Amino acid sequence: MMQSDFKSNNNIINSGNFLKSKHRILLLQILSDIISLSISFSILFFIRFESGIVESHIKPGAFEYAFGIVMMLFFWMTVFFFTGMYKNWYERSPFDELASVIKVTLVSSALIVIAINLDSSNSPRMLFLYFIAIMTFNVFVGRFIIRIIEKKLREQKKIFINAFIIGNSKKAIDFYQKTLKSPAWGYKIVGFILTDNDNLELEEIQKANINLGTLQDLEKMILKFKPEEIIITSADLKHSDLIGIATRCAESKVIVKIEPDLYDIFTGQTKTHILYGIPLIEIKTQLMKPWQEFIKRLFDIVFSLLVLIIGLPIWLLIGLIVRLESSGPVIYTQIRVGRNGKIFKMYKFRSMVKDANKSERQWTIVNDPRVTKFGRFIRKTHLDEIPQFYNVLIGDMSVVGPRPEQPKYVDEFSQALPYYKRRLLVRPGITGWWQVQYQPHVLGLEEIENRLKDDFYYIENMSIQLDVEIVVRTVWCVFKGHGQA
Q: For residue range 348-361, what is the model confidence (pLDDT) as tens digits?
A: 999 888 766 654 44
Instruction: Read off the DSSP letter of residue 6.
Output: P
pLDDT at site 90: 60
pLDDT at site 325: 87
pLDDT at site 268: 44
The DSSP line for 347-407 is: EEE--B-TTTTSS------TT-TTB-HHHHHHHHTTGGGTTHHHHHHTTS-EEESSPPB-H
Q: How far is CA 420 from CA 254, 448, 449, 456, in A?
A: 18, 9, 9, 10
- Which CATH number is 160-283 given? 3.40.50.720
pLDDT at site 18: 46
pLDDT at site 418: 75
pLDDT at site 1: 43
pLDDT at site 482: 59
Closest CA to 181 of 276, 281, 91: 276
Cα 348 to Cα 384: distance, rounded to the nearest angstrom: 5
Provide the phi-psi class of 188: left if phi over 0, else alpha when psi is between -120 and 50, else beta: beta
Residues 415-429: tens digit of each pLDDT: 888 778 888 889 999
Q: Are 388 and 346 in contact (CB under 8 A)?
A: yes
pLDDT at site 391: 95
Mean pLDDT by 10 residues, the chain (485 residues): 54 46 76 91 83 71 86 89 74 72 82 60 64 86 86 82 87 85 84 76 70 86 89 79 82 82 46 58 67 89 94 93 88 92 93 66 62 86 91 95 91 83 89 76 68 83 85 81 57
Cα 213 to Cα 219: distance, rounded to the nearest angstrom: 10
Cα 400 to Cα 296: distance, rounded to the nearest angstrom: 9
Polymer length in residues for the chain = 485
Percent of the chain with pLDDT over 70: 76
367-372: list long-range contacts, CB under 8 Å, 24+ apart.
367/485, 368/485, 371/485, 372/322, 372/325, 372/326
Q: At what angle do helices 290-310 and 464-480 cross, to 10 degrees?
A: 30
Domain boundaries, the chain: 16-155, 160-283, 290-480
Cα 406 to Cα 435: distance, rounded to the nearest angstrom: 17
Closest CA to 352 of 335, 333, 369, 334: 369
Beta-ladder partners of 278: 275
pLDDT at site 357: 60
CB atoms closer than 10 angstroms to residue 46: 11
Q: Are 402 and 426 in contact (CB under 8 A)?
A: yes
Beta-ladder partners of 275: 278
